[in-house]
Amino acid sequence: MTQIKACLFDLDGVVVDTAKYHFIAWKELANELGFDFTEADNERLKGVSRVRSLEILLEIGGIDLDEERKEQLAAQKNENYVSYIRKMKPDEILPGVEDFLNQLRKNGILIALGSASKNAPLILKQIGLTHMFDAIIDGNSVSKAKPDPEVFLKGAEALNVEPTDCVVFEDAQAGIEAARNAGMHVIGIGHPDNLKNADFVMPGFEDMNIDKLKFN
């Protein structure tokens, strides 16, 4: 039985539901470009980097643009998105997350963030959770997107623990693959139909406790 030494958390969709703000901001951009963008389309962007998200959005609209214009549009979307996340408050932490983080700390299990978002530091500040993390690895410190394991391997390194002693919490398939590629245990957050290859999948943290961190 592995004794887990560290928990690595994805941010968007695991600690907070920022997908709704990403959705509003992408939809406004799509509408401005003259096409619609649905919630189902938005599902395709979960766990996907900002640049890749824009490319998918442009594919949906059947629009081809040069790199300079793409950069402009990604920046415009981000400004809009940031205007929403600046209003986030601690009551947006998903149910059960804070209790679980407290349990981990009390039991000496290390905590890291492993997120693709460049806005992760701002979101953690807004929800008042920055101090809970022993290491923060975000979109500013990685060059390879999930399913590449870079973000989680950097997290384990920052905590000075072996990947096999880590468990990752992820809501996106690419993130689950990234955890597996890092050689870590992984718990999916969401529905098992959408998340393959996790040790187990749970709907959220309400029924989570450290006794469930047992893996062979």
Binding site for Mg ion (CB under 5 A): 10, 12-13, 47, 171-172
Q: Which is nearer to Mg ion, 134 or 170 (CB)?
A: 170
Q: Which is nearer to ligand G6P, 148 or 165 (CB)?
A: 148
Judge contact between 128 and 104, C-beta under 8 A.
Answer: no
Q: Is 25 in the site for ligand G6P (CB under 6 A)?
A: no
Binding letters toward ligand G6P, positions 129-168, x by CB under 6 A:
----------x-----------------------------
Contacted entry of Mg ion, ligand G6P, none for residue 49, CB cut-off 5 to 8 Å set by kind: ligand G6P
Contacted entry of Mg ion, ligand G6P, none for residue 53, CB cut-off 5 to 8 Å set by kind: ligand G6P
Encoded tokens for 123? 């979101």
Contacted entry of Mg ion, ligand G6P, none for residue 117, CB cut-off 5 to 8 Å set by kind: ligand G6P
User: How far is residue 59's CA from residue 54's CA, in Å, rounded to a whole number?
Assistant: 9
The H or E element that residue 136 is part of is strand 135-137
91 in active site? no
207 in active site? no
Residue 176 Cβ vs Mg ion, minimum distance, rounded to whole Å = 10
* Those residues with Cβ within 8 angstroms of residue 74's Cβ, 6 or more apart along the chain or in another chain: 50, 51, 54
- Through-space distance between the first and last CA atoms of the chain, rounded to whole angstroms: 5
Q: Which is nearer to ligand G6P, 27 or 46 (CB)?
A: 46
Q: Which is nearer to ligand G6P, 92 or 162 (CB)?
A: 92
How many angstroms separate the Cα of 162 from the Cα of each of 104, 106, 132, 199, 201? 18, 21, 21, 18, 23
- CA–chain centroid gap for 139, Å, is 10
Judge contact between 187 and 62, C-beta under 8 A.
Answer: no
Q: Which residues pair with 169 in a beta bridge?
A: 9, 187
Residue 13 Cβ vs Mg ion, minimum distance, rounded to whole Å = 4
For 208, the 3-state DSSP assignment is coil
Pick the binder of ligand G6P from 45, 178, 182, 189 (CB under 6 A): 45
Q: Which residues bind ligand G6P (CB under 6 A)?
A: 12-13, 22, 45-50, 53, 78, 116-119, 139
* Residues catalogued as catalytic: 10, 12
